[in-house]
C-alpha cells in the first residue's frame, strides 16, 4: 500500500481541491480527510456514511453535586477558570460548584485535591469519525465536538482506519488531505507516509510557510514534492518558491493556474477535473501523472 499526503504550510492554499481531483483521477482509492479542524473534502465528494464511531480524546472533570461541600478548593486550584459556583444545593449547602465542560482542559487537579472525592474524571467524546462511500472510493473522515480541537491521536485513528479499509478492499493507494501548518495533527498526518505533496501559493507568506513544512517532512523522513497553486498570480514568486524547493531537496512538479472553474465545480459537488477541461484541470491532471510516477518508485508502507 502507498500513502500520499497532501499538505500545506497554511490553510487555503488549495490542497483540498487538488486532493479531490486526485481522488477522481486515481479512483478507486481510500480517501482520508485529516484536516478535521476545517474539514471540507466531504463537500466535494459527498460521502454516504456507512460506519460511525465516537472518538474519546481525553477526560473531563464533573462535580457530583450531592457530595460537594462548597469548600472552593477546586476553583482555587483551577488554572483554566472552569469552575462555576452555580450548581444545585444538596441539603448541606444552598449552592455547589460545577465544572464548565467547555472550559475544562482535563488536567485533573480538581480530582486529586477534592477532600470529599466529589469530582469525577470521565472520558470526553471529542469527535465522531466515519467510514463512508463516495463515487471515488471509500472515505475516512471526522467531525469535532463543540469546542473540541483536532489532535494527533484523532488523525492517527483516521489513518489507521484508512489502512484497514484499504487492506479489506484490496486497494493499493490512500490519499490523505492533511492538516495545514506544522503542529501535532500535521506530524500525525505525515509520519510514515510514502510521499508528501506540498501545495503552496506564490506569496511571501507562502514561501515562509513552505520552508517550514518542507523541513518538517524532511525531518520525518518523508520524500517531498511541491506544486505551486495559482502560480500565474505572481510568476516571480513562483520562481522563488521553486528555487527554494530545489535548494532543500524538494522537487517542483507543476504550476496550477488560477481558474474560476475550480470554484464552479465545487459549487456543484465536483472536483475541477470532473467538471471542467480548463487550464486548472489540465494542470492538475499533469500533476497527478507526475505524482503517480513518484509513488510507483516508493516502497510500500
pLDDT (tens digit per residue) in 174-183: 999 998 899 9
Q: State how far the Cα of 208 lies from the Cα of 200, in Å rounded to an integer.
A: 10
Report the candidate in 274, 224, 252, 300 with the shortest Cα–Cα distance to residue 26: 274
- Coil, strand, or helix at residue 206? helix
Record the pTM: 0.88
Q: Is the peptide bond before 28 cis (omega within 30 degrees of 0)?
A: yes
Range of weakest confidence among 24-38, 83-97, 141-155, 214-228: 141-155
- Coil, strand, or helix at residue 293? helix
CA gyration radius for the chain? 23
Structure confidence at residue 146 (pLDDT):
79
State the first-to-last Cα distance of the chain, in angstroms, to the nearest integer. Answer: 6
Cβ(225)–Cβ(197) under 8 Å? yes
Query: Does residue 108 have a pLDDT over 90?
Result: yes
Mean pLDDT of the chain: 93
Query: Does residue 270 have a pLDDT over 80?
Result: yes
Over range 130-158, report the average pLDDT. Answer: 92
Domains parsed from the chain with CATH numbers: 2-46+135-297 (3.40.50.300), 58-125 (3.30.70.20)
**What's the pLDDT band for 160 if we cut at 50, 70, 90?**
very high
Handedness of CA 241, 33, 176, 25 (dihedral sign): negative
Task: Using alpha carbons only, give the angle 265, 251, 262 rounded to the nearest 5 degrees.
Answer: 5
Amino acid at each position: 500500500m502507498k500513502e500520499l499526503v497532501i499538505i500545506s504550510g497554511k490553510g487555503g492554499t488549495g490542497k483540498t481541491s487538488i486532493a479531490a481531483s486526485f481522488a477522481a483521477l486515481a479512483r478507486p482509492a481510500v480517501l482520508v480527510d485529516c484536516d478535521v479542524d476545517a474539514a471540507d473534502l466531504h463537500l466535494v465528494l459527498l460521502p454516504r456514511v456507512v460506519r460511525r464511531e465516537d472518538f474519546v480524546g481525553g477526560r473531563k472533570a464533573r462535580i457530583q453535586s450531592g457530595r460537594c461541600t462548597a469548600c472552593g478548593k477546586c476553583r482555587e486550584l483551577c488554572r483554566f477558570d472552569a469552575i462555576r459556583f452555580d450548581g444545585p444545593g444538596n441539603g448541606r449547602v444552598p449552592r455547589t460548584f460545577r465544572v464548565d465542560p467547555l472550559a475544562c482542559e482535563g488536567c485533573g487537579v480538581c480530582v486529586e485535591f477534592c477532600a470529599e472525592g466529589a469530582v469525577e474524571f470521565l472520558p470526553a467524546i471529542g469527535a465522531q469519525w466515519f467510514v463512508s462511500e463516495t463515487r471515488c472510493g471509500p472515505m475516512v473522515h471526522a467531525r469535532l465536538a463543540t469546542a473540541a480541537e483536532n489532535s494527533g491521536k484523532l488523525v492517527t485513528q483516521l489513518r489507521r482506519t484508512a489502512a484497514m479499509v484499504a487492506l479489506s478492499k484490496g486497494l493499493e493507494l490512500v490519499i490523505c488531505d492533511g492538516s495545514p501548518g506544522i503542529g501535532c495533527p500535521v506530524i500525525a498526518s505525515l509520519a510514515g507516509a510514502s510521499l508528501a505533496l506540498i501545495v503552496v501559493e506564490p506569496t511571501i507568506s507562502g514561501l515562509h510557510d513552505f520552508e517550514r513544512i518542507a523541513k518538517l517532512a524532511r525531518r520525518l523522513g518523508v520524500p517531498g514534492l511541491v506544486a505551486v497553486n495559482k502560480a500565474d498570480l505572481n510568476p516571480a514568486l513562483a520562481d522563488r518558491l521553486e528555487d527554494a524547493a530545489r535548494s532543500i531537496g524538494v522537487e517542483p512538479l507543476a504550476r496550477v493556474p488560477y481558474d474560476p472553474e475550480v470554484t464552479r465545480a465545487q459549487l456543484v459537488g465536483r472536483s475541477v477535473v470532473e467538471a471542467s477541461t480548463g487550464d486548472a484541470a489540465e494542470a492538475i491532471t499533469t500533476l497527478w501523472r507526475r505524482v503517480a510516477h513518484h509513488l510507483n518508485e516508493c516502497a510500500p508502507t
